[in-house]
Structure 1
Amino acid sequence: MRIRKELWFGFALMVIILVPVAMYTPWTSFIDGHLDHADLGALGLLMLALIVVAIMLGFPTAFTLMGMGVFFGWLAYRSVNPALANQQILDLMVQRAYSVMSNDVLIAIPLFVFMGYLVERANLIEKLFKSLHLSLARVPGALAVATIVTCAIFATATGIVGAVVTLMGLLALPAMLRAGYNIKVAAGAITAGGCLGILIPPSVLLIVYGATAGVSVVKLYAGAFFPGIMLAGLYVGYVIVLAKWKPHLAPPLSAAERVVPLPPLSQALAPRSRNALTGLFGALRDPALPKPQVATQFFVSVLPALSIIALLVLLYGAATAPTAVVDTTGLVQSGGAISSAEDAPSDASGLAEPPQDESALQEPPKDGAEVKEPQAPQAAQPAPAAADASAAVAAPAAADTTAAAAAERLPVPLWYWIVLAVGLASLVLVCWLMSWQRLEVFKLLLASFFPLAVLIIAVLGSIVFGLATPTEAAAVGALGGLVLAGIYRFISARQANPDNAVAATVKDLGGIIKESSFLTAKTSAMVCWLFVGSSIFSASFALLGGQEIVERWVLSLGLNTVQFMLLSQFIIFILGWPLEWTEIIVIFMPIFIPLLPKFGVDPLFFGLLVALNLQTAFLSPPVAMAAFYLKGVSPPHVTLNQIFAGMIPFMGIQLIALALLYAFPAIGLWLPSLLYK
């Protein structure tokens, strides 16, 4: 019965699309073959409607785009010159395919996808999820919160929605069901958290949008950083409030589940002191204990305190750094004499002829006449030269004074004292709360999150701060993912069989590279064929005048900027129900992008809104690919309807985040404006 309902829903959508198109299409002109400009525009709208219906029927998107683009483009050329229509449409195919192949931005897609698949197979996420849910054990809805945070961190390392949802469905869903979590809450947390990879860099969607709209991918990555954090924070806040309001939906962890087994050294030192810092510090003076092991554990225990101190020192240096003064005095004085000589004020206007030498215009002397020597120019006055010399002598002294003034540090601002007070309070709190159990949880976090954090900083930091292009950073990330996979596979192999660890690691790594390469080629081929198909489709749509009709229709509505943004985002939100984000980007963004200058909308800001809005493409039925990913790895008693129901509240949160981003554009535009002035 459920399948029948979904089929009826899909057929109803197709009828809603096709009936108005069939009513307003000039079929008589098509049959007669006499197509004027208006008829071609109607043909373009028919093509747009047919592609949506064909995708909903399950036809391959890329090749459907390509086939319809070629057919309708041939009709457009045939209406002008039937003899050249075949040659022109073939030329269009070749040109569009070559333009996609020569796009350097698209090279980053397979590299980022390859990095994601390698990190997924590094056995890193399981340790990260375990350490996070132990560290958040006292937070209401700890397992769901840990799931969302893990998904957000994993999204920054992969950007692959299907991989994140599938892996977290295998790790987090059984753990939440065993803990008594409601199926809808558990499914909603996994699917919503897994879809964060659409927005959080290195998002493949942002690369595709940047290549489609001609927007810098670097600026898109910088702009999407804070909206992604905001959306993840809203998800976490909703789960905490729900778990506090209705504890039976997300029960807290039991005391037994919060216990972390202690190693022998910690078990021996725990009776001496409840605090790990004081216990390890005292153990350093005990000759009966192994000094290297105790010193290592003590260093690990003070790492949080050292991190806080280092952060405060860096903030102090940034807050009191002297203002950089660029001294241009010498440059001005060097050209001062020339400027005074050549730029002397004159009564003549700027169009006056240049001054002429009167002696050069005199007639040549006649024979026997006395030739007068030209008068020597008047000697320059020594006063200006002396003044210039004295100014030049005084310049170094002034420059030294300016440099000395600039070298003095600025006074400490008020905000730093506030940050210092908060940092010192945090330092005391961390040292006081560092029990033996928390030390083990921190060691788990350090072993699972720190390598991933280094990889994320190396990739995203190099992109955002302009040290590398997205393609170069993606290559570094792919290499880093390969190294991480090798290290963690070696650790696992050494724990299982120390004698054969190297051979087992090489064998596992070869299988990982083979599988990751195959999946990367499959995903990249899909994206590139989509680009080729959408490029041909967009060219045919423009040839038919469809873009012109859409533009005239939108402008005829008399919308202001706010109304246009609401209309466009509403259309994208509705399109996210039957279509995936790839289809929306490659088909409909070329229609929206030319309208942005008409309403004064920044394409960068529009792209951030679209990326946030297109989360619904993975969370909205009946397509909702995240639900099908989760259903594929969930127990049999978890139904698809339960997963859909769990998604609905998180869809509402996405709309709230969309409204916040539109009301406060600085959430997305502040970082790009700061870094790329």
Structure 2
Amino acid sequence: MSDPQVALLMLGSFLFVILLGFPIAFTLMAMGVGFGYYAYYDAERMRTIFDNRIFDLFVNQTYSVMANDVLTAVPLFLFMGYVVERANIVDRLFHTIFIAARRLPGSMAIAALITCALFATATGIVGAVVTLMGLLAFPAMLKARYDTSFASGVICAGGTLGILIPPSIMLIVYAATSGVSIVRLYAGALLPGLMLAGLYLVYVVIRAVLQPSVAPKPRDEDIGDVPIGKLMVMLATSFLPLAVLILSVLGAILFGLATPSEAAAIGALGGLVLAAAYGSLTWDRLRQSVYLTVRTSAMVCWLFVGSWTFSSVFSYLGGEGVITEFVTGLDLTPLQFLLLAQLIIFLLGWPLEWSEIIIIFVPIFLPLLPHFGIDPLFFGILIALNLQTSFLTPPMAMSAYYLKGIAPPHVQLVQIFKGCMPFLFLVFLSMILLYMFPQIAYFLPNLVYGQ
């Protein structure tokens, strides 16, 4: 068996093993070391079983991940998110935005979407946003006689925006994988993220106007008369602090005032100050935030170690060349290649998490981008939009399962899936708009940093 054939066997074995349910990070490391032992085997220098270069490679890859400056921002942003999540500001934020938007069609759904977008951007943790908003906004919408499917779709779609709108942890991981500047990537993803959120809001308003039964207008007795002065105070104490925290972190990165790691550290400090200001900074909550941060960061880092070890051995055996020759031999146009790549990523989103897709499978496509003349920044933003679908597409729509886990017993999973479908089509629409008008992604990076 030739080395390229061994590489393809290595890839096939990996896919088979993870479908059996084995932990992906450790599977990658085991496959990398196992097949690497064969790849780097040298009988002349073998004195003990450990005289093999794969062990040197594994140690070097581990050190490279731990010393990666870009990945330093991941635990800091995670810590900021977990602290903000426990600051108990979501309920007052949702209530305030609902009061401010009470005259608009579908006002409660609008408030839920804006709250989801803000909270998801601050935390970047999809499960936490969907769960908290499902406990807070979902029962309120059901009580206000909103259609169950419509309300479910709003919560599920809004909760996923945090992996797209900067400062996004997913974009940091893509930057570390692809070598794209995280600063330009943040600038490029901002308008597409706001565009998708805007499409969600437009859909909610149009649906509420055309079909009022899905989002009945709130009754005056349910809202009460809120003077404009009181409303301004409510906005200043709920909406403004979180918005200032997000804009400060993002602005410091985009305008070159701080590196992503430095801005993340400031954001973590700001999250602590915000939690203290709301009287939510207890020792138990701080301990939980630190524990969850360490656990999630370790998962991401070990995925990187396993992925880079696996990909190094796979490339050394010639597997990367086989895939490159196969794809280039298909004589695809750039559009056809983009459609094929995005279709594969869309399908991978059913069984896998976004982190696994970005770290393991996206590097397979990256060497092909120069051949098709595709900018890695543009490709990354398309992927970020595409991965929204992994949380919304049945049968493995994780947002739907997060919501079902805390929804009232009468809410069926089929109803939640049905509510996600319109938002899923809006994600596809946003991808089409981005391809047709690439300046949506390039405008801010070119404006701030030049061509």
With normalisation by structure 2, the TM-score equals 0.95
Quick one: which of 481, 485, 488 aligns to 2:275? 485
Report the equivalent of 2:264: 474
Matched AA of 1:514: R
1:615 matched to 2:388 = yes
Report the equivalent of 1:517: 290
Question: Structure 2 matches for 1:407-556, cutoff 5 A?
Answer: 436=227, 438-489=228-279, 508-556=281-329
How big is the shift at 1:82? 8.3
SS in 2 for 1:181: coil
How big is the shift at 1:627? 1.8
CA distance in 2, matches of 1:459, 1:239: 29
SS in 1 for 2:212: coil
CA distance in 2, matches of 1:611, 1:82: 48
Q: 1:524 to 1:664 in 2, by over 3 A?
A: same
Q: 1:53 to 1:175 in 2, by over 3 A?
A: farther
CA distance in 1, matches of 2:313, 2:89: 47
- Bigger CA drift: 157-166 or 616-625? 616-625
- Is the CA contact (8 Å cut-off) linking 2:121 and 2:163 kept in structure 1? no
Structure 1 residues 475-523: Cα deviation after superposition (integer angstroms, max 9, x where no partner): 000000000000111xxxxxxxxxxxxxxx7xx5222211110111111
Structure 1 residues 343-391: Cα deviation after superposition (integer angstroms, max 9, x where no partner): xxxxxxxxxxxxxxxxxxxxxxxxxxxxxxxxxxxxxxxxxxxxxxxxx
Matched AA of 2:136: L
- Is the CA contact (8 Å cut-off) linking 1:155 and 1:201 kept in structure 2? no
SS in 1 for 2:282: helix
Report the equivalent of 1:121: 86
How big is the shift at 1:46? 3.0
SS in 2 for 1:582: helix
Question: Structure 2 matches for 1:343-358, cutoff 5 A?
Answer: none
Report the equivalent of 1:360: none
Report the equivalent of 2:406: 633
1:71 matched to 2:52 = no
How big is the shift at 1:156? 2.4
How big is the shift at 1:83? 6.0
Report the equivalent of 1:671: 444
Report the equivalent of 2:66: 101
Question: Structure 2 matches for 1:263-342, cutoff 5 A?
Answer: none
CA distance in 1, matches of 2:350, 2:189: 23
Q: 1:260 to 1:486 in 2, by over 3 A?
A: farther
- Is the CA contact (8 Å cut-off) linking 2:192 and 2:440 kept in structure 1? yes
Overall identity of the aligned pairs, in %: 57
With normalisation by structure 1, the TM-score equals 0.64
- Is the CA contact (8 Å cut-off) linking 1:260 and 1:440 kept in structure 2? no
Question: Structure 2 matches for 1:563-582, cutoff 5 A?
Answer: 563-582=336-355
Report the equivalent of 1:206: 171
How big is the shift at 1:622? 3.0
Structure 1 residues 155-202: Cα deviation after superposition (integer angstroms, max 9, x where no partner): 222212122111111111110111111221111111100000110011
Matched AA of 1:242: R
- Is the CA contact (8 Å cut-off) linking 1:222 and 1:672 kept in structure 2? yes
How big is the shift at 1:56? 3.1
Question: Structure 2 matches for 1:2-81, cutoff 5 A?
Answer: 35-36=1-2, 40-78=3-41
CA distance in 1, matches of 2:43, 2:441: 48
1:186 matched to 2:140 = no
SS in 1 for 2:391: helix
Structure 1 residues 399-427: Cα deviation after superposition (integer angstroms, max 9, x where no partner): xxxxxxxxxxxxxxxxxxxxxxxxxxxxx
Matched AA of 2:71: L
Structure 1 residues 268-290: Cα deviation after superposition (integer angstroms, max 9, x where no partner): xxxxxxxxxxxxxxxxxxxxxxx
Matched AA of 1:513: L
CA distance in 1, matches of 2:341, 2:44: 37
How big is the shift at 1:81? 5.2
- Bigger CA drift: 241-250 or 474-483? 241-250
CA distance in 2, matches of 1:457, 1:197: 14
Matched AA of 2:288: E
Matched AA of 2:284: G
Report the equivalent of 2:200: 235
Q: Cα RMSD over matched residues?
A: 1.6
Structure 1 residues 622-667: Cα deviation after superposition (integer angstroms, max 9, x where no partner): 3322222212221222222222222122111100000101111111
Report the equivalent of 2:162: 197
How big is the shift at 1:529? 0.9
Report the equivalent of 2:105: 140
Report the equivalent of 1:428: none
Report the equivalent of 1:496: none
Structure 1 residues 558-605: Cα deviation after superposition (integer angstroms, max 9, x where no partner): 112222112211211121122211111111111111111111111111
- Is the CA contact (8 Å cut-off) linking 1:580 and 1:623 kept in structure 2? no
CA distance in 2, matches of 1:141, 1:57: 44
Report the equivalent of 2:373: 600
Q: 1:102 to 1:118 in 2, by over 3 A?
A: same
- Is the CA contact (8 Å cut-off) linking 1:73 and 1:89 kept in structure 2? yes
CA distance in 1, matches of 2:150, 2:21: 30
Matched AA of 2:177: T
CA distance in 2, matches of 1:68, 1:487: 49
- Is the CA contact (8 Å cut-off) linking 2:78 and 2:293 kept in structure 1? yes
How big is the shift at 1:204? 0.7
CA distance in 2, matches of 1:169, 1:105: 33
1:655 matched to 2:445 = no
How big is the shift at 1:465? 0.3
Structure 1 residues 421-470: Cα deviation after superposition (integer angstroms, max 9, x where no partner): xxxxxxxxxxxxxxx3x332232112111111221121110000000000
- Is the CA contact (8 Å cut-off) linking 1:455 and 1:480 kept in structure 2? yes
Decide which structure has the larger Cα Rg and report it: 1
SS in 2 for 1:248: helix
Q: 1:615 to 1:248 in 2, by over 3 A?
A: same
Report how many residues are paired. 447
Report the equivalent of 1:293: none
SS in 2 for 1:568: helix
Report the equivalent of 1:158: 123
CA distance in 2, matches of 1:54, 1:446: 52
CA distance in 2, matches of 1:631, 1:220: 34
4+ runs deviating over 6 angstroms = none
CA distance in 2, matches of 1:565, 1:625: 25
Structure 1 residues 227-257: Cα deviation after superposition (integer angstroms, max 9, x where no partner): 1100001111111111222222222211212
Matched AA of 1:181: Y
Question: Structure 2 matches for 1:78-89, cutoff 5 A?
Answer: 78=41, 84=46, 86=50, 87-89=52-54
CA distance in 2, matches of 1:160, 1:141: 26
Unaligned 5+ runs, structure 2: none
